[in-house]
Amino acid sequence: MKIELKSTLSCPKCGHKKEEIMPTDACQFFYECTNCKKVIRPLEGDCCVYCSYGSVACPSIQEKNDCCK
Ligand SMILES: [Zn+2]
């Protein structure tokens, strides 16, 4: 099963897009936008910023594991 590790994060504050490599061993809860320097957090119910703002769901979701529990 192929897991996509590249995700394009879209900053909810300024709309800046940046391609990032997602960590496979942990969920990334905080992400500092490289453009506006705002620290963004996941939306309620999401485990990481990639699930909320990325183009691809995080590896844990792709594996259908329950992460962060
Ligand atoms: Zn931003």
- With beta carbons less than 8 A apart as the criterion, state whether 30 and 49 touch: yes
Q: Which residues surround ligand 1, an ion (CB under 5 A)?
A: 11, 13-14, 16, 33, 35-36
Residue 27: its pLDDT value, please?
Answer: 85
Ligand 1 centre distance from Cα of residue 35 (Å): 5
Residue 67: its pLDDT value, please?
Answer: 54
Ligand 1 centre distance from Cα of residue 44 (Å): 19
Residue 60: its pLDDT value, please?
Answer: 84
Q: What is the pLDDT of residues 11-68, one digit of tens each?
A: 999 999 999 999 988 889 999 999 999 999 999 999 899 999 999 989 888 887 655 5
The residue assigned the tokens 């939306």 is 43
pTM attached to this predicted model: 0.83
Long-range CB pairs of 35-44 (<8 Å, 24+ gap) are 35/11, 36/11, 38/11, 38/13, 38/14, 40/11, 40/12, 40/13
